[in-house]
Amino acid sequence: MEKTSIQLIKAVATKLRDSKLKGLGSKMITSCLEELQHSLDLENRAEALIFTALFDRSCSGRWSDLDDIASYFGCSQLEIMEYVYSLKSLLKRGMVVQSRSRECQLAHQNFMVSNYVIECILENRKLESRKAQLLEKEFDQYDFCKSVDSQIQDSDMTAESLLQYVESLEHEQAEIRMVKEVTALVPQLSARALFYEVCYDFFERDGEGRSDLNSTLRDMYEAYGVRFRERKALLDGTHPLIQTNLVELTGDKEYIVLTVSGRKLFLGADFEAFGKQYSGLDRYSFAREVTDYIHSSDYDVKNSAVMKRLAEKIRLMEESNRELTCLSKVRELIPEEDFRALFYIACNACLNGSGVSLSGELCTLYPIKERQTNLKSFKERTHKLQQLDLVEVFNKSSLWGEYTALQLTNKGKELYFEEDAELFVEKIDPKELIPASGIKEKNLFFSEAEQVQLSLVENALQEANYQSLVSRLEAKGLSKGIAILLYGAPGTGKTESVLQWARKSGRDVIHVDISSAKSMWYGESEKIVKGIFERYKRLCRRSPLKPILLFNEADAIFSKRRNIANGRSTDQTENTIQNIILEEMETLDGILIATTNLADNLDKAFERRFLFKICFAKPSAETKCRIWLDKLSGLSEAEAGTLAAKFDFSGGEIDNIVRKLTLMEVIEGQVPPFASILQLCEEEKIGRQHTPIGFKR
C-alpha cells in the first residue's frame, strides 16, 4: 500500500533526527528521501531533507533558524550551510514562510512550514496553487529597501558591514527589476545603498517621505571624513545619484528626495499609486495643474537642480495626457520644457481673462541667472515665445501701479485651445477696425499745393518707402513713429484722405471713438486710452503691414492742456489723458493720424510730435467745379461753374446735396432738373435765409 506524505515524513525524520547527517548515501535513506520528494513534488532530495526538519518543528508551532535546524540533525551550522540554497528554494516556492526577513544575517532569520502545506500533508491532499493560497508575498523592492533600512538603523552596524550586506542582498535578489536597473545605472555600491534608503523613506510615508541629509549620512557612515565627502558630492551635484538624476536636494538642500526618474525606477508598475496623478486632464485643468505645481512648495527655485526637475515634471504631465493633441503641437513647436511651462502658465491666465506679471512669473519659475536672461530677451522682443508669436508683453495697470504683463496672442490661443479658441480670441469691434480691402475707391479733389503734400504722405505710406523711412529715422536716433495731423474745416476731405491712403497702401485702419475714450468714472479714461495704444501695438505685431491708428475729430484730446489750479478733477483727467498720448507718440512704432477742425486749439506739445501737418482749406471755385462734375455726371461745365461760384460748399456739403438728389430721383423716377439742384443748395446752409423774429428798433 502506498504511503501517505505524513508517513513518509515520519520515516525520514526517524532516520535523520540526531543523525549528524551521516549515512545519507545509504540505500534506505536515499529511498525514503526520493519517495518524499516525489510525494511533495520537491526539486531534489536536499529539499526533502530540509523540509522534514522544518515540518517536524513546525508541527509543534516552532520557528527554526539555521542553528535550530543544525540542532535537529545534531550537526554544526557549517554543515547546514550547503543546504541553504534548498531552503531558499522552498521559501521561493511557498513551501515555507519566513519571519525576521529584515535581519541581514542569514543565521538570525527564522523559517516555518506554512499552515496550508501542513494541512494538505495531514489530509493527504495534493499541494496545488500554493502561492495563491498563501498570505505571504514574494520578496519585492519594498522588502528590499526595508531590509537595507533595518541595517542602517542598527547602531551596531558598521559602514563596511552595511555595504557587504547590500551587495549580498543584491546578489540574492538580482531578479528584482529595481535591483537590475539601479545596478546597471549606478556602479558605486555606496550610492546604491543610499538610493535604497531614500526609497524606503519615500514609501514609508505613503509617497510623501523625504530623507534628512545629515541624519541619513550619519546613520550610514561612522567615519566623519566619508560622511562629509558624501555630503559635499550631494551638495555640489557630483554624487552619482545626482548625476543619474535619481535624487535631488530640496528645502535649502536639507533633504534628499527621489526625482520623477528615481520614483519610476523604484516603483515600476506601481508608479501611479504614489503621489499626485496627472492623467485624464483636459486642456483647461492641464494648464491649471502646471501653474499650481510651479507655485507650490514642491517647486524650489533655490534648488540648483530645479530646471532639471521642472523638465522632468513637464514631460511627465504631458506624457500622462497624450490624448490632448494640443500638447503634442506645443512640444513640436517648443522643445524647451521651461518655455513650455511659461506658455502653459499664460494659457491658464487666459482662462481667467487676464495676463500674468512677467517679472513675477519669471521669479517663480527661474533661478536668478536664468530669470535675468529671459527678462532681457522679453524686453528686447527676442524671446522664442515672442518670435513664434505665441505670447506678448504689454503694460498693465493695477491698484499697486503699472507692471509688465504676459499674455497669449491669438495664435497662441488657437494653438492651445484649438476648437475652443474662438472663446478666447480677442475680437476687434467692426466699428473700430476698417479693413483696407473694404474701403471703396473715391475721387478727391484738392488745390495744387494741397495735392503736393497729400501725395508726399501717400507715397510715404507705401510699404517700401515706409520701411526705408523708418530705417533712416532709427539710424539717426530719431523717433521712428509716423504721426500726421490733418486739420481744417469740416467736410474738406480729411477723413476720406486717410481711408484712401489706407486703401492704396493696403493698411487697415484702427478708428478710435473719442467719446468712448472718456469715462464718467475717475481713472477709467486713462485706462481706456492706454488700452487703445496697447491694442494697437498688438495689432502691429500681428499684421504684415502696420495699420493706421486714426484719431478722428480729435479736438477734445489734442487740445491745449488745462490749468488745474482750480482743482477740478475733470481738468486733471483731461491732462492725464493728454500726457499718456504724448508719451505714446514719443515711443510710437507705427502710424498715427489725427484729424481736427480746431487747429488753433492744438497744444504745442502735440504740434511738434507730428511729422506731417497738412491744412485742408475750403475748396476753390475751380476745385468745387471739378467736384460737382465728378459727383453729378449730368451737369454741364457751365452749370457746375454756376454752383461752384454761387455756393461756398465743402466737399462734404456737396456730398449731402448729391445724396438728396439721389433720393429725389428714386422717389420721382426721373433726374431732378437744375432748378431743383439750385433749390437744394439754397436750403443746405442753416441760417442762410431766415425771417427775423421780434421788433425792429
- pLDDT tens, position by position, 625-662: 988 888 888 888 888 888 888 888 888 888 888 888 88
**What's the Cα-to-Cα distance from 520 to each of 75, 193, 574, 580, rounded to whole Å?**
104, 72, 12, 18
* Window from 166-180, 294-308, 349-363 with minimum mean pLDDT: 294-308
In the chain, pLDDT over 70 holds for what percent of residues? Answer: 89
pLDDT of residue 696: 38
pLDDT grade, residue 690 (50/70/90)? Answer: very low
Over range 30-48, report the average pLDDT.
90
Q: How far apart are CA 170 and CA 299, in angstroms?
A: 34
Identify the helix (H) or strand (E) that includes residue 551: strand 548-551
Specify burial of residue 550 (Cβ count, 10 A radius: 0-12, 13-18, 19+): buried
The pLDDT score that the predictor gives to residue 254 is 86
Alpha-carbon distances of 158 from 149, 151, 211, 220, 230, rounded to whole Å: 13, 9, 20, 8, 16
- pLDDT over 60 (residue 133): no
User: In Å, how far are 34, 130, 556, 574 from 42, measured between CA atoms?
Assistant: 9, 13, 103, 100
CATH homologous superfamily of domain 433-616? P-loop containing nucleotide triphosphate hydrolases (3.40.50.300)
The DSSP code sequence of 72-103 is HHTS-HHHHGGGHHHHHHHHHTTSEEEE-TT-
User: H or E segment at 451?
Assistant: helix 448-460
Give the per-residue pLDDT at 697. Answer: 35
Residue 124, pLDDT above cutoff 70: yes
Pairing of strands 401-408, 356-357: antiparallel
For the cut 90, the answer to whether the pLDDT of residue 409 exceeds it is: no
Helix axes 189-204, 213-220, angle to 10 degrees: 130
pLDDT beyond 60 at 695:
no
DSSP summary character for residue 560: P
Going from N- to C-terminal start, the domains of the chain cover 5-133, 141-273, 283-423, 433-616, 621-684
**Position 103 pLDDT exceeds 60:** no
Q: What 8-state DSSP symbol labels residue 270?
A: G
Check pLDDT > 80 for residue 427: no
Q: Which grid coordinates belong to 80?
A: 547546514
Could you tell me the CA-to-CA distances from 349 to 337, 354, 543, 580 in Å, in that order? 18, 6, 24, 27
Task: Say which range, 22-31, 179-188, 557-566, 581-590, has the weakest mean pLDDT.
Answer: 557-566
Q: Are 522 and 632 in contact (CB under 8 A)?
A: no
Model confidence at 198: pLDDT above 70: yes
The answer to whether the beta carbons of residues 110 and 97 sit under 8 Å apart is no
Q: Which residue has the higher pLDDT, 594 or 607?
A: 594
Nearest Cα to Cα of residue 276 among 255, 262, 287, 290: 290
Determine the Cα–Cα distance for residues 495 and 509; give it in Å rounded to an integer: 11
User: pLDDT > 90: what percent of the chain?
Assistant: 36
Alpha-carbon distance of 49 to 53, in angstroms, equals 7
Asked if the model's pLDDT at residue 281 lies above 60, the reply is yes
Confidence band for 693, pLDDT divided at 50, 70 and 90 = very low
Give 302 or 454, the one with higher predicted confidence. Answer: 454
- The answer to which of 127-141, 156-170, 346-360 has the lowest mean pLDDT is 127-141
E strands, 211-346, where? 211-212, 247-250, 255-258
CA nearest to 515, candidates 478, 551, 472, 462: 551
Q: What is the pLDDT of residue 196?
A: 95
- In this structure, the number of other CB atoms found within 10 A of the CB of residue 261 comes to 18
* CATH architecture of the domain with range 5-133: Orthogonal Bundle (1.10)
Q: In this predicted model, which residue has the larger pLDDT, 155 or 507?
A: 507
Give the residue with greater pLDDT, 47 vs 694.
47
Cell output for 599: 487747429
Structure confidence at residue 93 (pLDDT): 80
Nearest CA to 176 out of 95, 84, 92 is that of: 92
Residue type at 631 in one-letter notation: K
pTM: 0.50
pLDDT of residue 565: 55
pLDDT for 517: 59
Q: Is the pLDDT score of 217 beyond 90?
A: yes
Q: Tens digit of pLDDT for each residue in 312-357?
A: 889 888 888 888 999 999 999 999 999 999 999 999 999 887 788 9
Hunting for cell 519585492 — which residue is that? Answer: 140
Q: What pLDDT does residue 560 have?
A: 65
The backbone torsions φ and ψ at residue 404, rounded to the nearest 5 degrees and listed phi first, read -85, 125
Q: pLDDT digit string (tens) for 220-270?
A: 999 999 999 999 999 999 999 999 989 988 767 788 988 888 988 999 888
Helix, coil or strand: residue 390? coil
Is residue 548 within 8 A of residue 507, CB to CB? The reply is yes
Q: Which residue in 188, 141, 195, 194 sits closest to 169, CA to CA? A: 141
CA 298 to CA 250: how far, in whole Å? Answer: 8
pLDDT band at 465; cut points 50, 70, 90: very high
| Mean pLDDT score of the chain | 85
Which pLDDT value is given to residue 567?
A: 53
Q: What is the largest CA-CA distance in the chain?
A: 160
| Bridge partners for 255 per DSSP | 212, 250
**How many angstroms separate the CA atoms of 613 and 488, rounded?**
11
Question: For the segment 483-541, what is each residue's pLDDT rounded down to a tens digit?
Answer: 999 988 888 889 999 999 999 999 999 988 776 655 544 456 777 788 788 888 878 87
- 516 vs 573, higher pLDDT: 573
Quote the CA–CA distance of 30 and 239 in Å, as a whole number: 56
